[in-house]
Each structure stands twice: as structure tokens, then as C-alpha cells.
Amino acid sequence: ELHGNTNLEICVKCEKEYMRDHHTRNAIHYLDHRTGRMCTVKGCQGALKDTIINFTENLPEKPLEDSESHSKKADLCLAMGSSLRVTPAALMPEEVGRSRSGRLVIVNLQSTPLDHIATLRINALCDNVMVALMKELDTEIPEFRLLRFIRLQRNSSGKKIGISAVDSDDTPLSLFTEVELNGKTQTKEPFIFKVNPKSVNLNVDIRLHFVGNYNEPPLEFSRTVRADDCLTLSTKFNPMNGQWTNPSSNSEMDLSEEKDLVVNDTEGSESSHSPLSNPNPE
């Protein structure tokens, strides 16, 4: 994405990317890209910035280099829904179109400056073209599903349970606006609840409220959590029918590494950092 993504922010130190459920831009000044959030990669704590590219600003170096490299190798370029007027991005399909071995296909309802070098010009909606193309390729278009990972951890004394969200690479995420556990409600990170330590196998009823970029309804589920448990559950959301799958033990992440701990057994010694920067409540 040469011109950035409104929901994507990146760490200025380690370059870890964070795809959010909301627009990341917070800065008032035109050229200020800081979002006010910090990187949650262990030991980093770098400032995060949005990835939006404004007019007069240079494109990010690495994506630009990769795009130019792919363009030089391509024998087909499919330009869909683009005006093909903004450089240097527009130079890439032009390079393919002017190449002896290259073919440029343009899909747009309006004319573009590169129409005259296109091998094929399709005046239609992009979605309609892709449906027809996939049918021709005899390839089914998969339905979109939103995959989420939920972390539940109870400390060794059994006094506290932490609830957070993580990405597929186990990086903490901020997804919840409100968390309910057995009738108790919290609206601010870290979501850490005090529970009865005498309940060895504690049954918890959980209700999660999301930022709602995909209009997700609250997710409700129940689990039994033992002292010193660290559970990572996966669930999928279908935006077409507005339904979640029942959270299940995750099999799509590598959880072999031991997790760091955030909540101590000592009373009142909760970390001042969000559990999303260190998600395990011990």
C-alpha cells in the first residue's frame, strides 16, 4: 500500500505494524504522524505513527522499492479503479504497458492517461470484473472472515484474571472498549479482574465489547480457568450475518514460547503498563 492505510500504524523504532479497528490518525498538524500510542513489542516502547501519505510527502522507501522491482519483472499489470495520474505510482503500470513483453489491463469507469498503451481497457465496476475473472479461472472467492485471538490468564495465586487481545504473531492488540467478567465491568485497559482464589476451577462468563470497525456485536462465552492458566482462544466473525463462532483453543498461533507476566500476586502491585504490552497476568 504505497499511499498508506488509515487503520495501519507503525513503530518508528522496530517498524512493527499494527492494523487497528479504527482510524489511527490523531495528529492535528498536517505533517505530524504520531498517534500517541507506543509499541508493545517487548523492550521496544517506540512511538507509533500513522502510515498516511499526504501530498508533498515522499512514499515509504521499502514499499516503493519493492513495487518498482515487481513492476520490472511483471508481464501483466492489472490496474483497477485507479486514475493512474499520481506519480510515482502511475509510472509502474506505464512501465509494464510500454514493455515489449508486458501487458497492461485497465479497469475503470473513467478514462485514464494510460488508456492508449493498454492491451485491454474494461469500462466496468471492479467487483464485477473480479467475479467474472474468478469464474473464468474456476476459482471460488472465499468469504471474508475476521479472525481474532483472545488471551485469558490467571495468576499463580488464583486471585486475578487478565483478559486481552493478541495478533496472530502474539503481539498485543487494543480491540476491546469494555470487558465484563461474572457481572463485573471494566472500560479501560488493563482489563484485570480480582476473583476468588479459593475457586480452583473457576467458571467465568465473559462478554467482550469491540471497537466495532466491522460492526461486531459483543461476544459472549464461558470458560473454566485454573490458577496459573494461560489460554489463547480463537474466534471468527462473519460480517455477512453478524455472528461470531464459539471461541476455541487456538491452533493458528505458535504459543510455544513462555509468556512474560504482568500482574503480580502481591496485592496492589499491578503493572502500570497495559496488559496489552505484556499480556500475561502474573
Pick the last residue of a domain from 80, 107, 136: 136
Does position 257 have pLDDT exceeding 60, yes or no? Answer: no
pTM score: 0.69
Q: Per-residue pLDDT tens for 124-166?
A: 999 999 999 999 999 999 999 999 999 999 999 999 999 999 9
Pick the last residue of a domain from 112, 136, 160: 136
205 Cβ contact partners less than 8 Å away, ≥ 6 residues apart: 180, 181, 182, 183, 220, 221, 222
Output the pLDDT for position 275. 37
Q: Return the number of other C-beta atoms located less than 10 Å from residue 74's C-beta.
A: 18
Higher-scoring residue by pLDDT: 189, 114: 114
For the annotated binding site for Zn(2+), the residues are: 11, 14, 39, 44
Range in 98-107, 109-118, 138-147, 258-267 with the lowest mean pLDDT:
258-267
Output the pLDDT for position 113. 98
Does position 270 have pLDDT exceeding 70, yes or no? Answer: no
Looking at the structure, tell me whether residues 132 and 162 fall in a common domain.
no
Q: Per-residue pLDDT tens for 4-38?
A: 888 889 999 999 888 787 788 887 777 889 999 99
- Could you give the number of structural domains in the chain? 3
Q: Is residue 96 part of a domain?
A: yes
Q: Residue 78: which CATH number? A: 3.40.50.1220
Q: Is residue 153 part of a domain?
A: yes
Output the pLDDT for position 250. 61
Q: Is residue 1 part of a domain?
A: no
Q: Span 213-234, mean pLDDT?
A: 95
The verdict on whether omega for the bond into residue 197 sits within 30 degrees of 0, i.e. cis, is no
Q: 262 vs 125, 188, 253, CA distance in Å?
A: 50, 16, 21
Output the pLDDT for position 28. 72
Q: Per-residue pLDDT tens for 170-191?
A: 877 889 999 999 999 999 988 9
Q: Span 81-90, mean pLDDT?
A: 94
In terms of DSSP bridges, do strands 146-154 and 160-166 run parallel, antiparallel, or are they unpaired? antiparallel
Q: Is residue 56 part of a domain?
A: no
Q: Span 62-78, mean pLDDT?
A: 93
Q: Residue 208: which CATH number? A: 2.60.40
Output the pLDDT for position 104. 98
Range in 124-128, 241-245, 263-267 with the lowest mean pLDDT:
263-267
Burial call 142-165: b when 16+ CB within 10 Å, e when fewer: eeeeeebbbbbbbbeebbbbbbbb
Output the pLDDT for position 258. 37
Output the pLDDT for position 273. 36
> Annotated catalytic, 70?
no
Q: What is the mean pLDDT of the chain?
A: 87
Q: Return the number of other C-beta atoms located less than 10 Å from residue 240's C-beta.
A: 9
Beta bridge partners of 236: 147
Pick the last residue of a domain from 117, 136, 155: 136
Does position 237 have pLDDT exceeding 90, yes or no? Answer: yes
| Domain of residue 129, residue span | 61-136
Extract the C-alpha cell encoding 265: 500476586
Extract the C-alpha cell encoding 122: 474494461
Q: How many CA atoms lie within 13 A of 117 on its CB side?
A: 22
Looking at the structure, tell me whether residues 221 and 153 fall in a common domain.
yes
Output the pLDDT for position 23. 83
DSSP annotation of 37 reads E
Higher-scoring residue by pLDDT: 224, 167: 224
Q: Is residue 282 part of a domain?
A: no
Looking at the structure, tell me whether residues 159 and 227 fall in a common domain.
yes
Looking at the structure, tell me whether residues 271 and 195 fall in a common domain.
yes
